[in-house]
Structure 1
Amino acid sequence: MNDVQHTIAVAAAPQTVYDLLADATAWPVHFRPTVHVERLEEDGADERIRIWAVAGDEIKSWTSHRRRDPGSLRIDFRQEVSQPPIAAMSGAWVLRGLDDGVTEVVLEHSYRAVGDDPQHLAWIAEVTDRNSRAELANLKELAEQAADRSELVLTFEDTVVVDGRISDVYDFLYRAQQWPDRLPHVARMDLTEDEPGVQIMEMDTITADGAMHTTKSVRVCFADERIVYKQIVVPPLMTAHTGEWRVTAVRGGTAVTSQHTVAIRPEAVPGILGEGATVAEAREFARTALSGNSRITLEHAKAYAEGTTAGSQV
């Protein structure tokens, strides 16, 4: 095994830092490399989670076992199913309170490459170093701004009920490569799906005032159930944007929901919304823009599914 440590000092209480690490399902909003986390099992201090994350130019997924120990401010992890070129990976988050309210955070990794191949080892070392530094920097920023974080993060959703089948609604959302022909606000879509159910999409969107902006997202698709995503290239107003398209059976057809979670970048607010603009105004601006586009997509998904059900393709 190859052992490596990364350390950072955080101007926050150890419990504040620990709480950010303990809830893995919130990592996509907190940590830039993390796309999505599914909690598979939980039994007291132990949990099994599946993680999708950006690793270099690729999207990797693995299943990990974690043991959380709030008493000793430590979280141990071990990948149960690693993706090549990683043969095995384990480690720990270890926190120690220092003087003046500072917390030392140590992120430990032990790893082995498939076949102990030197090129594979070099790739793992480079990605582990890059992601560890990014995660620790994110953690420091989050913990030191914890008091203001509740104002910066918002979650909202929109729902429509479709007189149609779940499979047809899901099909419209899944086949995003066809959105430029189906949605008026999508001007361009480049979509790749090298691994079934994991999509990388770059999209040009036309805003209400006629401007155009480009976003890049990773989507993880759960057939006929939901599509979760994270923007890995976000508009300047945000530090993070995650979301979910969810389809469920209800009386009268299918409920389809668009959910967004957004983290506002406060220092960008004056330059985008004008001097004197507040975070509250930025929250409303982001909600109005994202909800507007989502509702357009929901209404077109509704028309598509109801048209399909009636026997005519929309």
Structure 2
Amino acid sequence: MTGERVHRRTYAVDVAAPAGVVYGLIADTTQWPLFVPPSIHVERLDFDGIRDRFQMWVTANGTVTSWLSRRTLDAQARSIDFHQEVPAGPALSLGGRWTVESRGAERSRLTLDHEFTVVDDRPEDVSWVERATDTNSRAELTRLKEIAECWTRLDSLLLSFEESVRIKGPAELVYDFLYGIADWPGRVPYVSRADVAEEQPGVQRVRMETLSADGPPQHTEAVRICFPHAFRIVHKHTVTPVLLEAHTGEWSVIPDETGVTALAQHNVLLREEAVEPVLGRGTGIDEARTYVRELLGRQSSTVLNLAKQHAESAIRTL
């Protein structure tokens, strides 16, 4: 244990939902990018039902940062202890506990305790971690409360699907097209603009404008985490179209003996109150699910087929 001062913070929110529902939302880290605004991606490394170990990417104070975490789950007590095994700077150590208390059949209280240290207790570093912890923790509890309180309708608001295409070409060329999102304007018909910043290797911040046949151009922003050796790109939209509360996904390229399979996978949380304003009076969740599935499926298929053309054309040229 270091001699640095331990800084502590506690955040809590009352939730109009059963304690078991709230605990379920915080217990599954793989869903956090969809449910928790600062979370971009969770790469689970180990999980045995009690001990959870994962690499996590988040936004903190306007930057994308990453750390390796361990958690210990106690489902009976509805508590989860966590600590960063390899903390993200400037934190020297960071840990805490999630606790869910039942306040009746349909009510609960969610509490998040944090404690952290920084090297030499430098004021500027303490301030940075405090600001990130405060901002992210409040955003997490606010969104978890909103999601938990619509728990009886949550299944209808969640949508997951994928598109795929077979390609007779090398995985490297397919991945090259998917990675090169800055070049999509002029190559991908529905993309009119893509501003890309890669301030750290493999982490892309993207501002994109897309066109649709039945509405004005859409402005979105996303973070993409790229794994070139695995031919994977995971992404989360940090600014979404109004119909989507959250949108995460993954581009992946899977080689085999005869070529590759390129996949586009999507996870969506619909914004219920936006359905009628976007799709028209009298429309409901079923129409929204169909609309989003068809739109994102069509866009993904367009990109995958252009990646196929890119890879197969290069092979023929060679």
Counterpart-to-counterpart distance in 1, 2:124 and 2:171: 45
Aligned-residue offset at 1:100? 5.2
Q: 1:129 aligns with which of 125, 128, 134?
A: 134
Q: Report the Cα distance in structure 1 between the residues aligned to 2:199 and 2:168, rounded to whole angstroms.
A: 33
1:280 partnered with 2:291: no
1:142-291 maps to which residues of 2 (within 5 A)? 142-209=147-214, 211-223=216-228, 224-291=230-297
Post-superposition CA distance 1:81-126 (Å, at most 9, x none): 1121122100000111124532111100001123321111112111
Cα distance in structure 2, aligned partners of 1:263 and 1:100: 26
Q: Separation in 2 of the partners of 1:44 and 1:212?
A: 44
Counterparts in 2 of 1:225 and 1:23: CA distance versus 1, 3 Å: same
CA distance in 2, matches of 1:239, 1:159: 25
For 1:94, the equivalent position in structure 2 comes to: 99
Does structure 2 retain, via aligned residues, the 8 Å contact 1:9–1:104?
yes
**CA shift digits 1:171-206 (9 cap, x unpaired):** 110111111132121111111111111111111111
- Say if 2:31 is the partner of 1:26: yes
Q: Which runs of 5+ in 2 are unaligned?
A: 1-5
Pick which of 155-164 and 96-105 moved more.
Answer: 96-105
Answering whether residue 285 of structure 2 is matched by residue 293 of structure 1, we say no
Q: Is the 8 A contact 2:147 2:154 kept in 1?
A: yes
User: What is residue 111 of structure 2 aligned with on the other side?
Assistant: 106
The number of residues matched between the two structures is 312
Question: Could you tell me how far 1:251 is from its partner in structure 2?
Answer: 4.5
TM-score normalized by the length of structure 2: 0.95
In 1: Cα distance, 2:105 partner to 2:54 partner:
35
Structure 1 CA distance for aligned equivalents of residues 56 and 109 of structure 2: 25
Kindly provide the amino acid, as one letter, of the partner of residue 272 in structure 2.
Answer: P
Tell me by how many angstroms 1:269 deviates. Answer: 0.8
1:44 positional shift: 4.0
Question: TM-score, normalising length from structure 1?
Answer: 0.96
CA contact (8 A) 2:54 2:69 kept: yes
Q: Give the 3-state SS of the residue equivalent to 2:184 in structure 1.
A: helix
Give 5+ residue unaligned stretches, structure 1.
Answer: none
Query: CA separation in 1, counterparts of 2:177 and 2:208?
Result: 16
Q: Does 1:76 align with 2:81?
A: yes
In 2: Cα distance, 1:104 partner to 1:210 partner: 42
Q: State which drifts further: 141-150 or 247-256.
A: 247-256
Q: Any idea what SS the aligned residue of 1:230 has?
A: strand
Q: Find 1:36's aligned residue among 33, 38, 41.
A: 41
Quote the offset at 1:207 in angstroms: 1.1
What is the alpha-carbon distance in structure 2 between the residues aligned to residue 285 and residue 101 of structure 1? 33
> What is the alpha-carbon distance in structure 2 between the residues aligned to residue 192 and residue 126 of structure 1?
24
Letter of the structure 2 residue corresponding to residue 275 of structure 1: R
Alignment map for 1:4-23 (pairs within 5 Å):
4-23=9-28
1:131 Cα deviation from its structure 2 partner:
0.9
- Tell me if the contact between 1:84 and 1:114 (Cα under 8 Å) persists in the aligned partners: no
Amino acid at match of 1:244: E
Separation in 1, partners of 2:95, 2:218: 40
Percent identical: 40
Does residue 310 of the first structure (1) align with residue 283 of the second (2)? Answer: no
Secondary structure in 2 matching 1:232:
strand
Give, in whole Å, the separation in 1 of the partners of 2:126 and 2:245.
31
SS in 1 for 2:234: strand
